[in-house]
Amino acid sequence: MTCAADAAAYQKAWVKDLRTRIADGASYAFVNADTPHELFHVMDVPIVTNQWWSAVIAAKQLAPSYFDRMEEMGFHPHLPRYSSLPLVAQIEGDTDRQPWGGLPAPALLCARASSDEHPRIFQRWSELTGAPLHLLSAPAVPDPAPDWWHRARTDWEAFYGTARLDLMVAEMEELIAALETLTGRRFDAAAFAAYMARIDAQERLFDKVSAMIADAPKVPMRISEQMPNVMIPQWHRGSDWAMAHVQAFHDEVVDRIRSGHAVCPDERIRMMWIGAGLWFDTGFYAAFEDSHGAVFAWSMYLPFAADGYIRADHGDPLRALAARVSAMNEQLHQPPWVNEWLVREARRNRIDVAVMLVPEHDRFSGYGSHFAREALTAAGVRVVEIRSDMVDPRQWDRAATEARVRAALDEVAGRTG
């Protein structure tokens, strides 16, 4: 069994257990991906992550009917989708067709105002379920230095700004107080510090794997395998299972590289997938291996586990967590951060072609795309821009998209061959 299969099996069992716990009345929190999950984990409050749940619904091919229903409810068709699919399912209320038979009411909601829709979507969740909402403020970094992946690891106080971090810490302390009330347990600062150190070790191992895959002569593992190997341990970051799994993932990659294993032995073109996963059609990632020797070598999840998460604690792990969270999503989407990071990653991974998912209705995720496109093009990378969505397949035309990518691959093959 490969690591990816192990991770999937673990997640399946964990989901089953969580579902049982929730059905038995355990309190859980419904949270956005860019919130401090660490606080929930250390307080032993189960969480369901909005974007993960959205991907689960999408993978079951339920999104089209929900988005059609969303418009029938009076929500306009240009509203963001990735973060709203679970809300629409919840409002629609037909729990029989939802994964798990639907979600019961959470005990607590948590989101960060990183984009304008999140406060509104979570306000609707709060009205629908009666759960209190903890909304974390998201003032922007006024003078963002381009090389965030260097500076944010240790020099984060100056990089993100003392006032912004003070605000995030204060709002996280309010969240901790709410979790203490919910659980009847006290927040253990020493245990939290130890837990944060474990997460740091986990992310440093991901950093190592990321560098190994970048340096390997040929891509040793498909991104469709990398994604579960990264994201599932990330959902459980710092746990015994996650630590062991990341080590096993590391070892498997080492073995594959050492033995000369290649996803595509005839690898000729290296590609990067820019954007969130194409959750309803992950088979797309392997579509060009036989025809063009073209392999997706990169998706954001593995390198971001290192660059987006490693934050030296400087003796104050709560503040380090604030640094991790306070611009988490922004680093992936806003100039100059996104364009500079993608060029650095493209160079490091010897990328020839970038396929960029531009979700025009998730504008927060779509902004910065053209800066990235221009920067990558200037760096010698051929960019194919795809207008689609991470969870909504209604505008996804697999054949047409493949044709566009193949045309780009032909062009690159002609250039390099």
Partner 1 sequence: MTDASALERAFATRADGVPAPAGGLVGVFGSGVPLPLIEATGARCVDIKAPPLDDAGTGATVPAVAALVEDFMDPFAARFLHRFAAGAFDRFALLIFARDDVAALSAYQYAREMRRLGHVPSRGPALHLWNLTHGLSAAIARFNRSELARLTDRLQAVLGARPDPDRFAAALEADRQRAAALAALPPGGAESFTARNAGRWMTADDHCAALKDLPVPAAPTEGPRIALVGTACDIPVLHDLCTGAGRIVADCQEYGPDPGSLWTPDEITPEALIDALAADPLALRATPPHRFTDALRKGIAGADLVISSVAPTDDAFGWEVPLLRRAVEGRGGRFLDLGFRPFRPDAAWCAEARQRMAETLA
Cβ proximity to partner 1, 210 vs 334, nearer residue: 334
**CB-based contact 44:63 (threshold 8 Å):** no
The binder of partner 1 chosen from 10, 14, 371, 396 (CB under 8 A): 371
Stretch that binds partner 1, among 95-103, 120-128, 284-292, 406-414 (CB under 8 A): 120-128
CA distance 402 to 417: 21
Cβ proximity to partner 1, 123 vs 183, nearer residue: 123
Size of the residue set binding partner 1 (CB under 8 A): 50
Q: Tell me whether strands 133-136 and 108-112 are parallel, antiparallel or unpaired.
A: parallel
Stretch that binds partner 1, among 19-27, 178-186, 256-264, 353-361 (CB under 8 A): 353-361
**CB-based contact 285:222 (threshold 8 Å):** yes
The binder of partner 1 chosen from 228, 303, 366, 393 (CB under 8 A): 366
The binder of partner 1 chosen from 139, 217, 260, 380 (CB under 8 A): 139
Cβ proximity to partner 1, 128 vs 197, nearer residue: 128
The binder of partner 1 chosen from 163, 184, 186, 259 (CB under 8 A): 163
Contact code string over 314-343 relative to partner 1, x by CB under 8 A = --------------------xxx--x----
Identify the CA nearest to 403 among candidates 389, 416, 384: 384
CA distance 19 to 102: 10
| 135 beta partners | 111
* Tokens coding 94: 């037909």
Q: How far is the CB of 275 from partner 1 (least distance, A)?
A: 13
Residue 268 makes contact with partner 1 by CB under 8 A: no
Q: How far is the CB of 10 from partner 1 (least distance, A)?
A: 35
Q: How far is the CB of 307 from partner 1 (least distance, A)?
A: 19
Cβ proximity to partner 1, 171 vs 203, nearer residue: 171
Residue 369 makes contact with partner 1 by CB under 8 A: yes
Q: Which residues of 363-375 are buried (b: 16+ CB within 10 A; e: fewer)?
A: bbbbebbebbbeb
Q: Which residues contact 303 (CB under 8 A, 6 or more apart)?
A: 210, 345
Residue 171 makes contact with partner 1 by CB under 8 A: yes
The binder of partner 1 chosen from 370, 398, 404, 406 (CB under 8 A): 370
Q: Which residues contact 226 (CB under 8 A, 6 or more apart)?
A: 4, 213, 299, 301, 302
The binder of partner 1 chosen from 257, 358, 383, 405 (CB under 8 A): 358
Q: How far is the CB of 117 from partner 1 (least distance, A)?
A: 5
CA distance 222 to 301: 13
Q: How far is the CB of 308 from partner 1 (least distance, A)?
A: 19
Residue 124 makes contact with partner 1 by CB under 8 A: yes
The binder of partner 1 chosen from 1, 25, 44, 142 (CB under 8 A): 142
Site for partner 1 in 46-105 (CB under 8 A): 73-76, 78-80
CA distance 117 to 26: 29
Chain residues binding partner 1 by CB under 8 A are 73-76, 78-80, 113, 115-117, 119-124, 126-127, 133, 135, 137, 139-140, 142, 144, 146, 162-164, 166-167, 170-171, 174, 334-336, 339, 358, 360-361, 363-364, 366-367, 369-371, 374
